Structure 1
Amino acid sequence: MKSLSLDLETYSDLNLAKCGVYKYAESPAFEILLFGYAVDGGPVQVVDLAQGESIPEEILDALTDDTVTKWAFNANFERVCLSRHLTDLGRSLDPFHDQHPLSQECARFLNPAGWKCSMVWSAYLGLPLSLEGLGAVLNLDYQKMKEGRELIRYFCVPCKETKTNGGRTRNLPQHALDKWNLFKSYNKRDVEVEMAIQQRLQKYPVPEKVWEEYHLDQEINDRGIAIDLELARQAVALDAQSRESLMAALKERTGLENPTSVIQMLGWMEQHGMKTDSLGKKKVQELLKTAQEPLRSVLLLRQKLAKSSVKKYQAMEMTACKDGRARGMFQFYGANRTGRFAGRHIQLQNLPQNHLPDLSEARELVRQGNYKALDMLYESIPDVLSQLIRTALVPREGMKFVVSDFSAIEARVISWLAGERWKSEAFAAGKDIYCSTASQMFGVPVVKHGINGNLRQKGKIAELACGYGGSVGALKAMGGTGYGNPGRGAGEPGSVLAVSQSPHRRFLVAGRWGGEDHHQTENPRLGE
């Protein structure tokens, strides 16, 4: 046996999308319902575990044999679920052999070295990241069955108690044998589609180096990160108290039934002499520059309320496993056009910075749930909670976390691909690329925290939005519409939205139109 193509249908009382597969498979209610497999591209077999069938012994042996390549679409799901199943059967899983102190954490899961993922293959080629979408794009003879979604809702998640179903909370095969037989066909079809993908893409293999990176990614996800769950729980509770207090204050000052309603608030503001069509973050900051009482205090309260967000703390509670570690926080090739890892659940790639001088003291007050002290010592409790998010991630005893990042990695690669020599030279000279881009756009020197420093943000938006063909749509989405020079509208010379149109190309010009500062590049290597 050289390869196994796999697909599982499972049941758990936990929401997979919210908690992730690691916690999903930890639930006492978790079980594998159907196990579809094919050996070396042969006929597909479906093992009906829900009705007492067992996975053949040679297949169980192959799951822990790293010389047999296991294939699945989103293989992380199959690998983690099968790890739980094998553990329940009393089988030991292959540990990592790198002598790393955290290897004992990973020993709970099948070694990813024996696994490959056709979703990663799809992502590597810039194709859809869903089995249905990929099958359609590749025009496969086997297509994913459209009935699957309804069948998954019926068998794989808890159901509501009703008089009709006798008050049960779960649908079993005997409750609808016709549906169950169709579900087995669906499981079989998914394995067939998986093998058809391998066959269709065999001329475009993923380099072995990328598979090595994928295996490293899986090890990182298996190890996870420890969470201070007490801090997370208290933060959620304190945020609720803060929101209640802010809402009460807003109701008192405005007399509105629902101060969070944009329509009600806009009407109240107009009655008090301030007319605006938006209450977005940037608009509120702009209004505060001229707002007088009582408008100013109301806008400040609304600003604090808008800051009140504990989604990351809630995600920590939702995803943390029994040992207090959150796993599955990264998706390999999640940004499939660039190959970047994507953050999932807690989103560790986008954490608020902290600048509190007394960070440790604030953290301890939150862990104690001391609302009165926090309210007395700090201007904004939501802001304190936001700044403490990083501290909820806990390193091992005697260790510390070091935060690092590639410096403008995408901008560097794009400038090289596009042949933008002025940009590559700016990088080589150690210049701030957002300042350099803003300088090209507006024809003036731009220095971070210095002369024309306010234009740096505009350079940043243009730099980030226009990479990989983002163009005008991405600029608008990132708020670039109002970022032209004073007196110049979007699409006019000197504006962020200045775009060259021709019968063959449509590209953004990051520079002044006309004159010696004009920079515009067409690289024949890139095509249209």
Structure 2
Amino acid sequence: MRTLAIDIETFSSVDLTSCGVYTYTAAPDFQILLFGYAWDDDPVELIDLACGERLPDAIVNAIESPEVIKTAFNAGFERICLSKHLNKHLKADSWRCTAIQAAMLGLPLHLDGVGTALKLKVQKDRAGKDLIRYFSIPCKSTKSNGGRTRNLPHHAPEKWQKFKDYCVRDVEVEREVRRKIERYPIPEKELKLWLLDQKINDTGVLVDMALVNQAVKCDTQYSSRLEVEAKTLTKLDNPNSVAQLKEWLKEQGLEVESLSKQAVQNLLTDADGEIERLLTLRQEMAKSSIAKYAAVQRSVCPDSRVRGLFQFYGANRTGRWAGRIFQIQNLPQNHMKDLEIARMLVKQGRFKELELLYESVPIVLSELIRTVLIPEQGCRFIVADFSAIEARVLAWLANEAWVLDTFKGHGKIYEQTASRMFGVPVEKIAKGNPEYELRAKGKVAVLACGYQGGVNALKAMGADKMGLSDTELDDIVRAWRSANQRIVRFWYDVEKAAVLAVREREPQRVGILRFKVENGILFITLPSGRRLAYIRPKIEKDLRFDKDGLTYEGLGINKQWWRQKTYGGRLVENIVQGAARDCLAEAMLRVDAKGYKIVGHVHDEIITEMRKGQGSLEELCGIMGQEIPWALGLPLRADGFETMFYKKE
């Protein structure tokens, strides 16, 4: 089977980064400018579509043929753009994505980053960013450029030639990346999963645009009124200015160092009069945010669906998906009992009633953002998610028997944890009993301590808001570790195995996990057979703990490629989250095979859109709860609900 490597350069008035490729290609002025390609090991060729050249029939036939493998770095972009250009939906089956293959080795998701990390002889031309800005996006109309809003090839022939060279270079770099990592092909199971991911992204999910537009209108009106009141109260030009507000407060006899969210909350406890009202306004204006609604407005397709919400292997350390466009993986939760009423009031533009019924309009709008996702007419969402999946996987891998028994039995892991931590019968940790307050400590310990977390991890989970001192929090950490000794041992066994595999260059095992260094990469093989990758591992002295520690190269702060440290708890976190991701992946493939239309997934949750009378919550949960062959003994359970709009139940 022949391979056709492809790279294209395009133009659209829609911003690709903020709107996604589906909306980008839906713009009336979308155009493929350059088409660079290479057959197998043949020289790269270029077709200048912007200057009137056309794709040869042989190339069009190859693009449409299932018998020709098309490769590209971020193949979804090329596939969707060419679908638009050819006016024919191209399925992903005969496409292969080099970016995904690279991500599975812990490499960045952008081509220049991969080239740098692999130290390729042929590197991406970084001057191309300026050329893309010049030819691929609209330009500002000025007198000097004759009032045009777009730069065409004849406006700068020398730049255009450089742009063509840049396209050719990208094909060469992509092919060089493919050659460099060809010994690590995408496993068959992961390829099936990527194809399902492309299908989900192509399908998209319907959006209630009436609700979206009214929410933006509501926020605009509310925010404007708050700002007018703040200006009237303070006589300031810009009451949102921290410097101006500090000066005003100082004139009122209150000198403050900060106006952060927490600082304002603290100041409100003793404030009164105009100062109290100003701080309340400040607090309310800070809550006001319609960024996600605006993202939906920007990215929605002409058929009112948003597409491309999921990035396969977006978290390249674990293989989990990442959110795109309006970050469905990171939406605010909803806690209102009367969510449907609030939704109706906003959608109908009844803003005054909304303010009368609810204490904070911004909070209402924040909680409603999930509900903009709706099923097609005649359908409903069936939503199901794994219960406490990471806690289950961690206990299964570490063979913490009492935790597994709890999940196989009553499932009250927070109560059972508190019982073991504090020596109280689990029956007493029930509502109405004084011992019930121990459940909160058990819960925060389960959430914070599983990956070798200490006092700071507890605080990150909100434990400091329970009114406990650092000493009391440290007692919780010690009690949890005492109750979960096999998990504690698991941290150190994993760290020891990783260090030995790197130092001795000999394979190691911890239970069903395997550790091995190949060609300068530390691989940890998960129960599913999928491997986590740590590039160029080294054993270096950890001065903080006076012991040998493991370091590797990877993406760190600000997505920069640098050498970073890891340890047992962090490795276990990667392993557990990776295995939990594999459980979701297995479930998604099964759910799809049963005919359920998956329109989204969030962490450990699957969102399906089914016609009324087809499918059921019981069946969906049953499919997700089935035992997985490579995870025998792992107690899985899924719970869910049916709904006419997406929400968090």
In which range does the TM-score fall when normalised by the shorter chain? 0.7 to 0.9
C-alpha displacement of 1:383? 2.2
* 1:286-301 paired onto structure 2 within 5 Å: 286-289=266-269, 291-301=271-281
C-alpha displacement of 1:242? 0.6
C-alpha displacement of 1:154? 0.9
C-alpha displacement of 1:434? 6.5
Check conservation: 2:417, 2:483, Cα contact below 8 A. no
What TM-score do you get using the length of structure 1 for normalisation? 0.81
Aligned residue number for residue 29 of structure 2? 29
C-alpha displacement of 1:198? 1.3
Aligned residue number for residue 74 of structure 1? 74
C-alpha displacement of 1:276? 5.5
**Distance of 1:239 and 1:161 partners within structure 2:** 32
What amino acid is aligned across from residue 155 of structure 2 in structure 1?
H
* 1:250-261 paired onto structure 2 within 5 Å: 250-261=230-241
Aligned residue number for residue 497 of structure 2? 525
Give the superposed CA RMSD.
3.5
What amino acid is aligned across from residue 470 of structure 2 in structure 1?
R
Question: Structure 1 residue aligned with 2:478, among 511, 521, 524?
Answer: 511
Cα 1:266/1:191, change in 2 over 3 Å: same
What amino acid is aligned across from residue 44 of structure 1 in structure 2?
V
357-366 vs 304-313, greater mean Cα deviation: 357-366
Check conservation: 2:414, 2:440, Cα contact below 8 A. no
What amino acid is aligned across from residue 57 of structure 1 in structure 2?
D
Gaps of 5+ in 2: 500-549, 551-649
Aligned residue number for residue 13 of structure 2? 13
C-alpha displacement of 1:202? 1.5
What amino acid is aligned across from residue 437 of structure 2 in structure 1?
I
Question: Structure 1 residue aligned with 2:294, among 274, 290, 314?
Answer: 314
Aligned-partner SS, 1:14: coil
Cα 1:485/1:372, change in 2 over 3 Å: closer
Q: Given the alignment of the two structures, is residue 182 of structure 1 paired with residue 162 of structure 2, yes or no?
A: yes
Aligned residue number for residue 346 of structure 2? 366
Check conservation: 2:458, 2:473, Cα contact below 8 A. no
Q: Any idea what the Cα deviations from partners look like across 1:255-295, whole Å, max 9, x if unmatched?
A: 54433333444555566676664444445445545554454
**Distance of 2:409 and 2:379 partners within structure 1:** 35
**Distance of 2:97 and 2:458 partners within structure 1:** 36
Check conservation: 2:212, 2:372, Cα contact below 8 A. yes
Aligned residue number for residue 502 of structure 1? none
C-alpha displacement of 1:313? 1.1
C-alpha displacement of 1:82? 0.2
Aligned-partner SS, 2:32: strand
Aligned-partner SS, 2:10: strand
What amino acid is aligned across from residue 488 of structure 1 in structure 2?
D
C-alpha displacement of 1:315? 1.1
Gaps of 5+ in 1: 88-92, 94-108, 497-509
* 1:94-105 paired onto structure 2 within 5 Å: none
Q: Any idea what the Cα deviations from partners look like across 1:424-455, whole Å, max 9, x if unmatched?
A: 56655565667777899999999798314554
Cα 1:405/1:66, change in 2 over 3 Å: same
Question: Structure 2 residue aligned with 1:227, among 207, 226, 239?
Answer: 207
* 1:154-233 paired onto structure 2 within 5 Å: 154-233=134-213
**Distance of 2:26 and 2:455 partners within structure 1:** 42
What amino acid is aligned across from residue 525 of structure 1 in structure 2?
A
**Distance of 2:257 and 2:408 partners within structure 1:** 45
Q: Given the alignment of the two structures, is residue 248 of structure 1 paired with residue 228 of structure 2, yes or no?
A: yes
Q: Given the alignment of the two structures, is residue 42 of structure 1 paired with residue 39 of structure 2, yes or no?
A: no
Aligned residue number for residue 459 of structure 1? 445
243-252 vs 407-416, greater mean Cα deviation: 407-416
Check conservation: 2:420, 2:483, Cα contact below 8 A. no
**Distance of 1:330 and 1:456 partners within structure 2:** 34
310-319 vs 247-256, greater mean Cα deviation: 247-256
Cα 1:57/1:280, change in 2 over 3 Å: same
**Distance of 1:441 and 1:296 partners within structure 2:** 43
Aligned residue number for residue 97 of structure 1? none
Q: Given the alignment of the two structures, is residue 334 of structure 1 paired with residue 301 of structure 2, yes or no?
A: no
Q: Any idea what the Cα deviations from partners look like across 1:176-234, whole Å, max 9, x if unmatched?
A: 11111111111111111111111111112211110110010111111111111121111
Q: Given the alignment of the two structures, is residue 488 of structure 1 paired with residue 470 of structure 2, yes or no?
A: yes
C-alpha displacement of 1:130? 1.1
C-alpha displacement of 1:24? 0.4
Check conservation: 1:235, 1:366, Cα contact below 8 A. yes
219-228 vs 301-310, greater mean Cα deviation: 301-310
Cα 1:435/1:252, change in 2 over 3 Å: farther
C-alpha displacement of 1:516? 8.3
Aligned residue number for residue 59 of structure 1? 59
What amino acid is aligned across from residue 65 of structure 2 in structure 1?
D
Cα 1:338/1:249, change in 2 over 3 Å: same
**Distance of 1:400 and 1:514 partners within structure 2:** 44
**Distance of 1:46 and 1:420 partners within structure 2:** 59
Check conservation: 2:218, 2:349, Cα contact below 8 A. yes
C-alpha displacement of 1:158? 0.8
**Distance of 2:131 and 2:180 partners within structure 1:** 28
Check conservation: 1:443, 1:517, Cα contact below 8 A. no
What amino acid is aligned across from residue 134 of structure 2 in structure 1?
Y
Q: What is the aligned-residue identity percentage? A: 47
What amino acid is aligned across from residue 33 of structure 2 in structure 1?
L
C-alpha displacement of 1:494? 1.2
Q: Any idea what the Cα deviations from partners look like across 1:319-368, whole Å, max 9, x if unmatched?
A: 11111111101111111111111111122223333344444443333223
C-alpha displacement of 1:147? 1.0
Check conservation: 1:448, 1:456, Cα contact below 8 A. no
Aligned residue number for residue 409 of structure 1? 389
Cα 1:493/1:354, change in 2 over 3 Å: closer
Q: Any idea what the Cα deviations from partners look like across 1:432-491, whole Å, max 9, x if unmatched?
A: 66777789999999979831455467536635xx75x9x7999599587968984437xx
Aligned-partner SS, 1:234: helix
What amino acid is aligned across from residue 12 of structure 1 in structure 2?
S
More strand by share: 2
Aligned residue number for residue 122 of structure 1? 102
Aligned-partner SS, 1:110: coil
Cα 1:187/1:376, change in 2 over 3 Å: same
**Distance of 1:57 and 1:316 partners within structure 2:** 38
What amino acid is aligned across from residue 445 of structure 2 in structure 1?
G
**Distance of 2:263 and 2:86 partners within structure 1:** 56
**Distance of 1:207 and 1:391 partners within structure 2:** 36
Question: Structure 1 residue aligned with 2:361, among 374, 381, 385?
Answer: 381
C-alpha displacement of 1:120? 0.8
Aligned-partner SS, 1:494: helix
What TM-score do you get using the length of structure 2 for normalisation? 0.67
Structure number with higher relative contact order (C-alpha < 8 Å, ≥ 6 residues apart) = 2
Check conservation: 1:5, 1:38, Cα contact below 8 A. yes
**Distance of 2:301 and 2:143 partners within structure 1:** 35
Aligned residue number for residue 499 of structure 1? none
C-alpha displacement of 1:520? 3.7
**Distance of 1:373 and 1:493 partners within structure 2:** 44
**Distance of 1:151 and 1:246 partners within structure 2:** 44
**Distance of 2:430 and 2:55 partners within structure 1:** 63
Number of equivalenced pairs: 489
